[in-house]
Amino acid sequence: MTLSTHISELKRKHQSLSDKVEEAQRAPSVDGLHIASLKKQKLKLKEEIERLSS
Confidence (pTM): 0.87
The reported pLDDT for the residue numbered 29 is 87
pLDDT tens per residue, range 1-54: 799 999 999 999 999 999 999 999 998 888 999 999 999 999 999 999 999 998
- Residues with Cβ within 8 Å of residue 38, at least 6 apart in sequence: 17, 20, 21, 24
- Residues with Cβ within 8 Å of residue 20, at least 6 apart in sequence: 38
